[in-house]
Amino acid sequence: MTFFCPVSDLGIYGRRIIGKEEPITSEKEIFSLSGPVHLASVDWNNFHHRTSIAASLVKGVYILEHDRQQNRQGVAPPWWEFFHFQLNHLLIDVDGSIFGAVYEFKYFAFHSAQNAPRFVVAFRGTIKKRGSILRDFELDLLCPCNELHRSSRFQLAEQALRNIVALAGATNVWLAGHSSGSAIALLGGKKMTTMGIPIESYLFNPPLLSSPIERIKNQKLKHGIHFTSSMVKAGLAVALKGNRQRSQLEDPFVALSTWLPYLFVNPADPICSKYIGFLCKRTGKFERLLAAGSKLLGAPGRDSEPSHLIPSAYLTVNLSESPSFKQAHGIHQWWNPNLKFQSEQHKFS
């Protein structure tokens, strides 16, 4: 069973470790050394500021789980307290690991007219540590199988999101996630949007696994393979569906077209880089056929949801050099004040 855990009940902070060696803390976990300390004054109308804060709150979830595993005291709080947030609830899985958090902005009443959120629901990605790796790996396997909606983590995340939206209203809530946590946030945002409740969302390095085709240097050949593969999927989808037509109100892509999540990808990250081609090289009618084909053919069950398929997004691509996969996939890149990036809106019509 998964469950909410009010912060006051957790007991991570405020207790001393007796007879044990002091836990090791890396430089990247210390906010004063690795966080966006340049944002001493926040402009909520500034896209980079909002992005940096959302990424920092996601990082806070990572550190919360590291604190739990190592019995550390208080390494995580600066990642949200610097921006005047406080922990409202933690999201804890069946293995006891922390995979998400609900943050509440202390001064929302003073900044509500400036694009500031009252609540932020954030989810971390995979942690390669003994205390969580098995459960995290299970979730990683569910993403490409389009079975994420069946996981205990997503079910808890969805319930938490519904509760917060009911309390504060959708316009006062942000969603944020990184890697597999981004997949949870993306699917949660899609489900809320189909209910007519789009939520401002910040999705860092969302998984959309690339095939070896992406490594082909000849662009014409690569695009030709993509086009042929997509046409086969689309054609098979039409054959399976027959001539049955759905109205626009029943079309999930039309229902989702009002939602414009912020997607952050790095071309050097194979986990998310395919989004660049997915969003930039498409047409509306063709993509609906492709979505139908993916749903019917690419999932083990007919009710499976291709969670990565979205009709619209505000895509931000990191143009800075990333010498390693760790840097290309990491959360730290998104609050770098010297970040070179390109942003473009891709709106389905």
257 close to 312: Cβ distance less than 8 angstroms? yes
Calculate mean pLDDT across residues 62-74: 92
Decide if 81 is inside a domain: yes
Residue 315 to residue 287: CA distance in whole angstroms: 17
Decide if 163 is inside a domain: yes
79 close to 56: Cβ distance less than 8 angstroms? yes
Decide if 63 is inside a domain: yes
Neighbours of 47 (CB within 10 A): 13
3-state SS, residue 36 = coil
pLDDT of residue 200: 97
Residue 160 to residue 178: CA distance in whole angstroms: 18
What does the pLDDT look like over 162-179, one tens digit per residue? Answer: 999 999 999 999 999 999
**pLDDT band (50, 70, 90) for residue 332:** very high
Residue 321 to residue 309: CA distance in whole angstroms: 28
Decide if 197 is inside a domain: yes
Residue 60 to residue 28: CA distance in whole angstroms: 12
Q: Which residue has the higher pLDDT, 17 or 161?
A: 161
Residue 2 to residue 91: CA distance in whole angstroms: 8
What does the pLDDT look like over 78-135, one tens digit per residue? Answer: 999 999 999 999 999 988 899 999 999 999 988 877 889 999 999 999 988 877 777 7
Q: Which of 325, 287, 306, 330 is nearest to 144 (CA)?
A: 306
- Return all residues near 332 (Cβ < 8 A) that are at least 6 apart: 28, 34, 55, 59
Least confident of 150-154, 156-160, 166-170, 224-228: 224-228
pLDDT of residue 288: 53
pLDDT of residue 258: 85
Decide if 292 is inside a domain: no
pLDDT of residue 248: 46
Decide if 273 is inside a domain: yes
- Residue at token pair 């390669």: 128
3-state SS, residue 336 = coil
Give the global pTM: 0.80
Cite the DSSP H helix spans in 71-179: 78-81, 108-111, 133-142, 152-168
Dump strand ranges (E) for the chain.
Answer: 3-6, 85-92, 98-105, 119-123, 173-178, 200-204, 262-265, 313-318, 341-346
Number of domains the chain is built from: 1
Residue 110 to residue 106: CA distance in whole angstroms: 9
Decide if 233 is inside a domain: no
> Is the confidence at residue 229, as pLDDT, over 50?
no
Domain coverage including residue 111 = 3-12+24-215+249-285+303-346
Compute CA 240 distance to the chain's CA centroid, rounded to the nearest angstrom. Answer: 32
Residue 144 to residue 307: CA distance in whole angstroms: 9
Decide if 166 is inside a domain: yes
pLDDT of residue 216: 52
3-state SS, residue 248 = coil
Which amino acid makes up residue 2? T
CATH code of residue 311: 3.40.50
